[in-house]
Structure 1
Amino acid sequence: MNAQAGWYVDGNTPGLERWWDGNQWTDQTRPAGAPPAGYAPATAVNPEKNGLGLASLILGIIGLLFCLMPITGFIGFILGITGLALGLAGISRCRKNKATNKKTAIAGTILSVLAVIFGIVMFFTAVDQLGNDLDQIGTDLQDYSDCINEADNLDQMNECN
C-alpha cells in the first residue's frame, strides 16, 4: 500500500480508525471520525439567529411607547422587565455561541432598561397627579359645602358652584 501516513478506517473493526505510518499499520486506534490528538472537535459557531434578543428589542420599544402616557406607564414597566429578562438571556446565548445578533440583544436590553426606568417614573407621576386631583376634589367639595352652609336662602344656594 502506497498511501500517505494518516488515520484510515480499520477493516477488521467497524467504528474504529487505525494509524498508517506510511509503511505499515500501527497499534494506534481511535473512534472513527475522532479529531486528531490535541484538537478539540469542531463545533458549530452561531448556529441560529437570536430570537430572544429580537423579542427584547421589540418589547423595549413597545414598553417605551407605553411610557409616553403616565396612566399606561405600568404597562411599559411590565414590558420592560420582560424585555430585560429576554435580552439578558439572548446575550447569554450569544456568549455561549448558541445564537447570533448580539448587538440586537444588547440594544433590546438597553431599551428594556429604559422602559423599566420610565415606567417607574410615569407610575409615580400618575400617582402624584391622582393625589393632586383628589386633593382638588376635596377642596372643591369643602368650598361647596361651606357655600351651602353660609347661604341664607335658596337663591344663594343656587349660586354655589
Structure 2
Amino acid sequence: MIESNPLVSIIMGSDSDLPVMKKAADVLEEFKIKYEMRILSAHRVPNHVREYVTGLSERGIKIIIAGAGLAAHLPGVVASYTYLPVIGVPLKSGALNGFDSLLSIVQMPGGVPVATVAIDGAKNAGLLAVQILSINDNNLASKLKEYKIRMEEEVLKKDSELNKES
C-alpha cells in the first residue's frame, strides 16, 4: 500500500506479520498521518530492501517502523541503510515466542540504533512515531495530548464502574 506524501514507512518481512503490524497503521490512521506499508524480507529480497530504504528520505519519509520475527534482521538491516529513525517491532514467533526477535532487535551494535518496542508492540511503535513527528508539529502534539487525556478518562471510568459493582 503506497499513499501519496507518506511520512512513515511500515515494513515487515512476511505477510504473516500483517495482523500485528496493522496495529501501527491503525494508530497512524487515527492521527491522520500518511504512511505506506511494504513486505520486504531482509533475507529473501535484500537488494529490494536496500533500494527501497535508500530512497525513503528523498520521498519525504521521516520514520520507519520495521517488524520481524525469529532472527529479526529486518530492522537492523533497514537502519544500516538510512539515517532516518527506525522503530523495531519484534514479532512473536518460533519456539521462543518472540524473545529471540526482541534480543536480535534490541542488541544492535553501536552506531546503528534501532528503537525497540515490546514483542508484538506495533501499537506502541505507531505511537512512538506520532510522538517523534509531534516534535515539529503543534497540531499533532495537541492531538497526542488529547489522546492521552482520553486514555486517562477511560481508565478512570472503568475504575469507577468496577467500584459501583462492588
The structure carrying a bigger helix percent of its residues is: 1
TM over 0.5: no
Q: TM-score range, shorter-chain basis? A: under 0.3
TM-score, reference length from structure 2:
0.25
Higher strand residue share? 2
